[in-house]
């Protein structure tokens, strides 16, 4: 089997790694070994936090809906239960946006939820 010389490809790989680590502190932006380690960590954090972002936004939406529902004299749980019983199929993202941008519409949703929960 013939020998494979990797000079060009190895340099290209190292240059790409160092380019991705541009802006990192210390040796992480200049030393290939440190840059490779830093990128392993960074990629792990990015993967994890792409999933955590969904969790964080859901928490934010629930907090906003809860705050708006409490201004209408309801808790988050009773509000959401009332909407489900009333047959309103809006997700939390849309409800939170309505709560922030259009309080009058949110008040009407709260009334529907209150009536449905009472019945």
Give the integer Cα–Cα distance in Å for 62 and 91: 10
Work out how many domains the chain is built from and give that number. Answer: 1
Q: Is 39 inside any structural domain?
A: yes
Residue 63 lies in a domain: yes
Rounded to the nearest integer, the mean pLDDT of the chain is 97
Q: Is residue 17 part of a domain?
A: yes
Does residue 2 sit within a domain?
no
Whole-number pLDDT of residue 119: 79
In a domain, residue 1? The reply is no
| 26 falls within a domain | yes
Count CA atoms within 13 Å of residue 42 on its CB side: 15
Residue 36: count other Cβ atoms within 10 Å of its Cβ: 16
pLDDT tens-place string over residues 55-100: 999 999 999 999 999 999 999 999 999 999 999 999 999 999 999 9
**CATH value at residue 111:** 1.10.1900.20
Residue 107 pLDDT > 90, yes or no? Answer: yes
List the domain range (segments joined by +) for residue 54: 8-118
């Amino acid at each position: 089997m013939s020998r494979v010389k990797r000079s060009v490809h190895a340099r290209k790989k190292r240059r790409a790694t160092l380019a991705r680590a541009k802006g990192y502190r210390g040796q992480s932006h200049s030393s290939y070994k440190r840059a490779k380690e830093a990128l392993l960590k960074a990629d792990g954090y990015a993967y994890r936090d792409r999933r955590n972002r969904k969790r964080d936004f859901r928490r934010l939406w629930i907090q906003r809906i809860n705050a708006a529902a409490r201004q209408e004299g309801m808790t988050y749980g009773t509000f959401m239960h009332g909407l489900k019983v009333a047959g309103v199929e809006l997700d939390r993202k849309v409800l939170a946006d309505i709560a922030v941008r259009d309080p009058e519409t949110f008040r009407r949703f709260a009334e529907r939820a209150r009536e449905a929960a009472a019945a």
